[in-house]
């Protein structure tokens, strides 16, 4: 006997979730594993429920649909539901699983579902492109720590430090979070007028910079308001001089 497919419905609007439930009634081999009304709930339930299919809204409170995918690493079995035509067209062009542009009919729903069934379990690289292109500049960093999700606004960042395959996000409150990402990837998303890479392993928030100190004959270090001292490479010194 073929097992039922599990579906997770994620949308901040009750009417939208109800419509997906109604359309799924004509597909008895799919059971609804759960419903979420915001991105934080979705990030939690995708990990806990391991659904085969996720009907995922894009614009939601707390976390967007793309931020949910970034946090969970989910790259298959995703059907986007969105009211934004520009995003929908981009998703379709990149051959993401599929999208449903609100309001959508039962016929359009069934088409998207049929396509998703064929691709269940297959990683969709296009989702990485959508996530990467979601915003040229970020205003917050998302970190998942087991079952917790931390949202750190960029203005609360003191400095970032590369640690092997992770980045240590150090905040102005003295907290440190580890995010699995390359420092160079974060650098591309941060405003260069606010954040400067002083060393191959460090990026600092210029607003937290208190002084540039001489170290040895030709070396320099940055002293932050927190008291932390950051080494400055020759290239980093040229960058900070150009900004200041």
Q: Is the pLDDT of residue 2 over 80?
A: no
Q: Is the pLDDT of residue 136 over 70?
A: no
**Do 96 and 203 belong together in one domain?**
no
Position with higher pLDDT, 70 vs 92: 70
202-205/157-163 β-pairing: antiparallel
Q: Once rounded to an integer, what is the mean pLDDT over residues 180-206?
A: 93
**Do 182 and 92 belong together in one domain?**
no
Residue 204 banded pLDDT, cuts 50, 70, 90:
very high
**Do 36 and 116 belong together in one domain?**
yes
Question: Could you give the number of structural domains in the chain?
Answer: 2
**168 Cβ contact list (under 8 Å, min separation 6):** 160, 161, 162, 176, 177, 178
**Do 116 and 230 belong together in one domain?**
no
**Do 167 and 121 belong together in one domain?**
no
Position with higher pLDDT, 60 vs 134: 60
Among 132, 161, 188, give the residue marking a domain's end. Answer: 132
Residue 210 banded pLDDT, cuts 50, 70, 90:
very high
The two three-digit tokens of residue 139, written as one number: 């205003």
What three-state secondary structure class fits 184? helix
Is 8 in contact with 55 (CB distance < 8 Å)? yes
Q: Is 77 exposed, middle or buried (0-12, 13-18, 19+ CB in 10 A)?
A: buried
Q: Once rounded to an integer, what is the mean pLDDT over residues 55-77?
A: 89
**Do 72 and 163 belong together in one domain?**
no
Among 112, 132, 152, give the residue marking a domain's end. Answer: 132
**Do 85 and 102 belong together in one domain?**
yes
**105 Cβ contact list (under 8 Å, min separation 6):** none
**Do 13 and 125 belong together in one domain?**
yes
Apex 66 CA angle, 65 and 68, nearest 5? 65
Given this model, what pLDDT does residue 133 score? 65
| SS3 readout for 106-138 | HHHHHHHHHHHHHHCCCCCCHHHHHHHCCCCCC
Is 237 in contact with 202 (CB distance < 8 Å)? no
Q: Once rounded to an integer, what is the mean pLDDT over residues 171-199?
A: 93
**Do 100 and 201 belong together in one domain?**
no
Among 132, 153, 179, give the residue marking a domain's end. Answer: 132
Rounded distance between C-alpha atoms, residue 64 and residue 69, angstroms: 9
Each residue's pLDDT tens digit, 150-166: 999 999 999 999 999 99
**Do 173 and 113 belong together in one domain?**
no
**Do 11 and 67 belong together in one domain?**
yes
Given this model, what pLDDT does residue 162 score? 97
The two three-digit tokens of residue 120, written as one number: 């269940």
**Average pLDDT of the chain?**
88
Say how many Å lie between the first and final Cα of the chain, rounded: 68
Q: Which domain holds residue 219?
A: 140-243
Domain CATH for 227 = 2.40.50.1020
Is 97 in contact with 77 (CB distance < 8 Å)? yes
Is 51 in contact with 8 (CB distance < 8 Å)? yes
Domain CATH for 60 = 3.40.50.2300
**Do 81 and 189 belong together in one domain?**
no
């Amino acid at each position: 006997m073929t097992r039922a497919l599990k579906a997770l419905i994620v949308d901040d609007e009750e009417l939208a979730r109800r419509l997906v439930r109604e359309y799924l009634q004509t597909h008895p081999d799919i059971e609804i594993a759960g419903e979420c009304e915001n991105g934080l709930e979705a990030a939690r339930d995708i990990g806990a429920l391991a659904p085969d299919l996720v009907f995922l809204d894009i614009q939601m409170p707390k976390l967007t649909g793309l931020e949910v995918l970034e946090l969970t690493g989910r790259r298959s079995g995703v059907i986007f539901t969105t009211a934004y035509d520009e995003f929908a067209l981009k998703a379709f062009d990149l051959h993401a699983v599929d999208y449903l542009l609100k309001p959508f009919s039962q016929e359009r729903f069934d088409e998207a579902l049929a396509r998703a069934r064929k691709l269940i379990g297959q990683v969709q690289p296009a989702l990485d492109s959508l996530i990467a292109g979601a915003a040229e500049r970020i205003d917050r960093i998302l970190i998942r720590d087991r079952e917790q999700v931390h949202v750190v606004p960029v203005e609360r960042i003191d400095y970032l430090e590369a640690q092997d395959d992770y980045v240590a996000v150090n905040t102005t409150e003295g907290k440190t979070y580890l995010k699995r990402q390359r420092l160079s990837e974060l650098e591309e998303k941060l405003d260069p007028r606010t954040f400067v890479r002083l060393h191959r392993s460090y990026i600092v928030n210029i607003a937290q910079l208190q002084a540039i100190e001489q170290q040895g004959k030709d070396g320099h270090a940055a002293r932050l308001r927190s008291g932390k001292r950051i080494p400055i490479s020759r290239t980093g010194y040229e960058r900070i001089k150009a900004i200041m």
